Structure formats: structure tokens, C-alpha cells
Amino acid sequence: MIHALYSGFITFLIALALGEPIVRYLRRRRIGKQISEYLPEHQKKAGTPTFGGFIIWLPTLVVTAVAVDWWNHQSILLPLGMIAVTAAAGFVDDLGTLQDRRQGGLSWRFKLGFTAVFALGAAIVLYRYIEVESINIPYVGSYGLGLFYIPLAAAIIVATTSAVAVSDGLDGLVGGTTLIAFIAYGIIGFIQGQEFVATFAFIIAGANLGYLWYNAHPARVIMGDTGALALGSSLAVVSLMTGQWLLLPLIGIIFVVEAGSNILQIGSYKLTGRRIFRRAPFHHHLELIGWAETQIVTRFWIIGIAAAMLGVALALEVPER
């Protein structure tokens, strides 16, 4: 646990040190994000540098290579691989959302299909090589799922990746809520004796903490899909590696609410022609009814912390067989 905490702290320091030159470089190159015309209250953020995900992933890769005994725990290459492919897709998408760019970002259908292909590959690796194909139910026990685990794990990765990306819309929202979730799974990994998983989770948490220094309201940089897609996919894989993926909707309850509000809004409009929320995802609805941006983010963090504490407690309530 001490090693994991030191690793997270060192990653935070590296992210903090790298953040300033990265932000300055992005500003100097005028790599600013274009804000949707459907968000008039956010137009003041137009031109804020994007690609802030690099502040998270560069320190994560450096510290993981040194601090995680990956040659004896090669399974850690799986979440690293998912980070690489989803961050690459996010990077291409972010290029299309820059100001003065004629081409748009990637379509949601492409991103969904792209993620699904690699999620299926990750699920097969989890099942065949890492051998984590069970469901852990608090107060009940652990049960193997057999081949059914593969499509289920793939669906979890796709859903989490999409939900985290949907939640990215306010300064500090996704950075803070994923930080909380990774700390929760780091604790779970340590309790299970998977120190390398715990270390990896705390490394990402530390990198996220460094990123938040620059993303605190008013944000100097936005993570973009370069950060959000990779955070979602790696969080899903870490939860699957601990076997406590059933608790992911609780630990990541904010992502469930945000993605769920989008689904409900689209479904309601297509079926009835009416909207349930003033605007989806839910954080925009709260803005339109008068909540301040910092108020929404802080309260979402509070909910995330409470849910993470409950999630860790429930993870301890799975009887050993």
C-alpha cells in the first residue's frame, strides 16, 4: 500500500510539472476547443485548449513502467493497451472539435463500434489469460459465468467508456469523479492482494489529481475525448480485473446518472416528442434550473465519494468460497 501511495504521489508531481508547459504549448499553437452552439452559456469557454488528457497519460505511462512490476504481472498491459487505443480515437475526435476546423469529430456510431471491437478483444483476454470470469455478489458469494462473461465484460467496457465521455462537460467533473473511482478500486485491489492493480489505480488517480490543478474552474485546459475515453475504458478494465465490476455502477454512480439522462432524453423525444430534462446530460439540466457550475461539480464529487465508500464496504462483504 505504501508503494502504491508513493507511486500515486510521484505521478501527481510529474503531472503537475508537465501540465504548465503542455498548457502553454497548446495556447501558443491556439489549439482551442469549439463549443457547441447548443450550449450558449458555455461560449465563454470557446478557445480553451483541449488535449488535456496528455497531462494524465504521459505521467501514467512513465510511472507505470517504473513502479509496476509489469514483467511479472503482464496483465497490467491490458488496461494500458485500452488506454492507448481509446486515447488515440479520442485524439482524432478532438482534432475535429477544434476552432476553425471544417471537418467534425468522429461520429458517436464510429466511436461506439471502435470501442466495441477492442472491448471484445479485452474481454477475451480477461477470460482466457487473466482468468477473471466470475461475478462477485455481496453477502452471497462468487460464481463463475463461463463464456457468458466475454460479451458481458465487453458490454461493461463499452458502457463505461461511453458514460464517462458523456459526463465530460463541466470543469473538474470527470477528472474528480474518475479520481474517486480509481481510488476506490485501488483500495479494493490492495485488499485482494493485487498490489500491482492497486498501484496502477493510484497512479492514474495521482495523474488525474495533477490534471485537476489545471482543469479547476475556470479551466485552463480541457481533457477532451483524449482523456475521457481512455479514463472510461481503463476504469472498466480495472474493475473487471478486481472481479468487482458489479459494484461499478455504484462506485461510478455519476456516470450512470449522466449517461442514463441522455438515454432517457433521446428515448422520450423519439417516442413522445417530449423532453424529460431541459437539456441532457443531467449536469446541463441542473445548470438551466439555476445551479452554478462549481456547485454541480462539488455536489457530484460528494455523491461520488459517498458511493465509493459504500462500494468498497460492499466489496468486503463477498463471502469467500
Confidence at residue 34, expressed as pLDDT on a 0 to 100 scale? 61
The alpha-helical segments, DSSP class H, found in 168-281 are 173-191, 195-215, 224-242, 248-251, 253-272
Confidence at residue 98, expressed as pLDDT on a 0 to 100 scale? 74
Confidence at residue 28, expressed as pLDDT on a 0 to 100 scale? 80
Confidence at residue 78, expressed as pLDDT on a 0 to 100 scale? 92
What percent of the chain clears pLDDT 70, i.e. is strictly above it? 93
Mean pLDDT of 293-319: 94
Round to whole Å and give the CA distance between 39 and 33. 13
Confidence at residue 55, expressed as pLDDT on a 0 to 100 scale? 94
Round to whole Å and give the CA distance between 131 and 116. 20
**What SS3 class is residue 29?**
coil
Q: Is the pLDDT of residue 103 over 90?
A: no
Residues 6+ apart with CB under 8 A from 209: 8, 12, 15, 179
Round to whole Å and give the CA distance between 203 and 209. 10
Q: Which residue has the higher pLDDT, 103 or 189?
A: 189
Q: Is the pLDDT of residue 47 over 70?
A: no
CB 186 within 8 Å of CB 51:
no
Q: Is the pLDDT of residue 318 over 80?
A: yes
Mean pLDDT of 112-130: 92
- Other Cβ atoms closer than 10 A to 93: 23
DSSP characters for 87-102? HHHHHHHHHTTBTT-S
Q: Which of 97-111, 183-197, 247-261 bottoms out in mean pLDDT, i.e. has the lowest?
A: 97-111
Confidence at residue 85, expressed as pLDDT on a 0 to 100 scale? 93
Query: What rounded mean pLDDT belongs to the chain?
Result: 89
Residue 25 binned pLDDT confidence (cut-offs 50, 70, 90):
confident
Q: Could you read off the pLDDT of 225-259 as tens digits, one per residue? A: 899 999 999 999 999 999 999 999 999 999 999 99
Q: Which of 24-28, 175-179, 228-232 bottoms out in mean pLDDT, i.e. has the lowest?
A: 24-28
Confidence at residue 39, expressed as pLDDT on a 0 to 100 scale? 61
Residue 49 binned pLDDT confidence (cut-offs 50, 70, 90):
confident
Q: Which residue has the higher pLDDT, 132 or 42?
A: 132
Q: Could you read off the pLDDT of 56-81 as tens digits, one per residue? A: 999 999 999 888 877 788 888 999 99
